[in-house]
């Protein structure tokens, strides 16, 4: 907080010394991973599941499937709803009492074709497995959006009233086959953006230049990246696209010599993999700036600790080096930022976050202060047009004022 008070009167503030030393380009080459063995294993699993279903039918029984659906901590209703922007996170827990489709036994969800409302779900999962089987054999990929449109025909349109049904089915099949959703070669549409002095070379020889106006779309799978070039000294993750674009207009990438990243709200898998790649492969410090509200904190936690709905894939997605740079509730008074009361929805999310096992004293202190009111990042613009990029962010980084 002393750092904020110290520089509030400054028109601008620059990082110096080691934080912006020379703009020396760094390059790393990443070996291409041969996925032949893992593809063959997954193909065999699909064929085994299919064989079991055929055997059930031949013995005169209606088929059923089961898969693990456990989470490391409780997935609250608000988290289920607000993580819907993450195509890999749309997993409400199911029970027979809620929807009549399936039931849970010993942390397993059972899809029974004998149950009336389970038939469409069963059929869609089989359809997704068939599509994944073809893609794995040919070692090709398609987007889930493309699969959704392929299924909008007379025979299968009733299975997919909305895109969300396809996304859910892909995740259910991944649980059934005990694999990561992206390993099925059915990929979500990219939505995350990256901007700054960064060039990515993909396995298919495509080059992604992140100096493009407005930023570049983050590639689907980080494992497709075979080479990275950058002169940046850090990565800054921004919660919202509006703030991301504002920082670009203020030339934040040059002022801080950073790579700007946004997942446009709750990040998709591609954005989370990308942030982890920058942290682990390029050894860049990663800072996150989010709204001072429960959902902003939750988004930061998804980057840093992972999401409950993809707990099995935590090792591939969570980036523990992400540091919460702001906005901290403890600095709102000194900054003169106006707050608004929390809604019941906000309070429910706040309580859920405080109960998570990874919450430490520093987090809990800020969350307790948040009970008095919330604020958006845009509230910092009242001081001056470039206060966020020229004063607030460099002051916080240089002063080590992060959690």
Q: What is the pLDDT of residues 144-173, one digit of tens each?
A: 999 999 999 878 888 888 999 999 999 899
Q: Are strands 193-195 and 216-217 parallel, antiparallel or unpaired?
A: antiparallel
Task: Categorize the per-residue pLDDT at 103 as very low, low, confident or very high, splitting at 50, 70 and 90.
Answer: very low
Residue 370 region by backbone torsions, left for phi larger than 0, else alpha for psi between -120 and 50, else beta:
alpha
Which residues participate in catalysis according to the annotation? 149
Domain 190-399: which CATH number of 3.40.47.10, 3.40.1360.10, 3.40.350.10, 3.40.50.80:
3.40.1360.10
Which of 69-78, 151-160, 251-260 ranks highest by mean pLDDT?
A: 251-260
Cα distance between residue 206 and residue 255, in whole Å: 29
pLDDT confidence bin for 380, thresholds 50/70/90: confident
Higher pLDDT, 67 or 228: 228
SS3 349: helix
The structural domains of the chain, with segments of one domain joined by +, span 35-68+109-187, 190-399
The bridge status of strand 258-262 relative to strand 216-217 is unpaired
Lowest mean pLDDT among 53-62, 165-174, 326-335, 378-387: 378-387
What is d(CA 213, CA 47) in angstroms, rounded to the nearest whole number? 46
- CA–CA distances in Å: residue 177 to residues 55, 111, 171: 18, 14, 10
pLDDT of residue 212: 87
In this prediction, residue 188 carries a pLDDT of 86
Architecture of domain 35-68+109-187: Orthogonal Bundle (1.10)
User: Model's pTM, two decimal places?
Assistant: 0.81
Instruction: Kindly report, residue by residue over 318-372, the tens digit of the pLDDT.
Output: 999 999 998 999 999 888 888 999 999 999 999 999 999 999 999 999 999 999 9
Q: Which of 97-106, 120-129, 134-143 has the lowest mean pLDDT?
A: 97-106
Distance CA 41, CA 110 (A): 23
Spatial CA neighbour of 223 closest among 26, 41, 27, 30: 30
Helix (H, G, I), strand (E, B) or coil at 161: coil
Rounded to whole angstroms, how far apart are CA atoms 106 and 69?
10
Is 92 a residue whose pLDDT tops 90? Answer: no
Task: Identify the band that residue 4 occupies on the pLDDT scale cut at 50, 70 and 90.
Answer: low
Contact between residue 307 and residue 353 where contact means Cβ atoms under 8 Å apart? no
Q: How many CA atoms lie within 13 A of 215 on its CB side?
A: 29
Query: Which three-class secondary structure state does DSSP give residue 374?
Result: strand
- Which pLDDT does position 69 carry in this prediction? 64
Q: Indicate the pLDDT class of residue 83, thresholds 50, 70 and 90.
A: very low
Mean pLDDT of 382-403: 86
pLDDT tens-place string over residues 279-306: 999 999 999 999 999 999 999 999 999 8
Residue 256 has pLDDT above 90, yes or no: yes
- With a CB cutoff of 8 Å and minimum separation 6, the contacts of 61 are none
pLDDT for 86 equals: 41
Residue 343 to residue 333: CA distance in whole angstroms: 20
pLDDT confidence bin for 267, thresholds 50/70/90: very high
The answer to whether the beta carbons of residues 270 and 188 sit under 8 Å apart is yes
Look at the block and give the residue holding tokens 């935590």. 314
Spatial distance between the Cα atoms of 74 and 93, rounded to a whole number of angstroms: 10
């Amino acid at each position: 907080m002393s750092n904020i008070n110290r520089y509030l009167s400054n028109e601008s503030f620059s990082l110096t010394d080691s934080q912006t030393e020379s703009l020396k380009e760094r390059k790393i080459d990443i070996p291409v991973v041969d996925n032949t063995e893992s593809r063959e294993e997954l193909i065999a699993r699909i064929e085994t599941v299919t064989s079991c279903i055929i055997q059930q039918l031949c013995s005169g029984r209606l088929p059923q499937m089961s898969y693990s659906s456990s989470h490391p901590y409780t997935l609250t209703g608000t988290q289920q709803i607000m993580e819907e922007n993450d195509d890999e996170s749309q997993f409400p827990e199911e029970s027979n009492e809620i929807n009549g489709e399936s039931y849970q036994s010993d942390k397993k969800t059972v899809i029974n074709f004998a149950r009336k409302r389970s038939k469409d779900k069963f059929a869609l999962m089989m359809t997704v497995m068939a599509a994944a089987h073809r893609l794995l054999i040919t070692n090709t990929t398609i987007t889930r959006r493309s699969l959704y449109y392929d299924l909008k025909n007379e025979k299968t349109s009733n299975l997919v009233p909305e895109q969300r049904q396809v996304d859910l089915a892909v995740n259910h099949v991944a649980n059934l086959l005990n694999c990561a959703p992206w390993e099925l070669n059915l990929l979500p549409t990219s939505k995350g953006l990256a901007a700054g002095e960064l060039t990515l070379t993909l396995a298919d020889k495509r080059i992604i230049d992140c100096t493009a106006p407005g930023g570049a779309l983050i590639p689907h799978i980080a494992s497709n990246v075979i080479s990275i070039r950058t002169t940046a000294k850090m990565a800054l993750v921004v919660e919202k696209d509006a703030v991301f674009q504002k920082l670009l207009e203020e030339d934040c990438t040059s002022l801080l010599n950073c790579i700007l990243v946004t997942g446009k709200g709750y990040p998709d898998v591609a954005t989370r993999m990308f942030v982890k790649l920058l942290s682990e492969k390029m050894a860049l410090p990663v800072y996150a700036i989010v709204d001072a509200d429960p959902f902003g904190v939750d988004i930061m936690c998804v980057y840093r600790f992972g999401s409950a709905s993809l707990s099995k894939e935590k090792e591939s997605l969570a980036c523990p080096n992400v540091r919460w740079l702001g906005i901290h509730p403890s600095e709102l008074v000194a900054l003169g930022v106006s707050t608004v009361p929390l809604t019941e929805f906000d309070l429910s999310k706040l309580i859920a976050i405080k109960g998570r096992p990874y919450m430490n004293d520093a987090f809990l202190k800020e969350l307790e202060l948040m009970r008095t009111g919330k604020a958006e990042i845009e509230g910092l613009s009242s001081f001056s047009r470039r206060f966020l990029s020229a004063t607030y962010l460099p002051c916080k980084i240089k002063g080590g004022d992060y959690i």
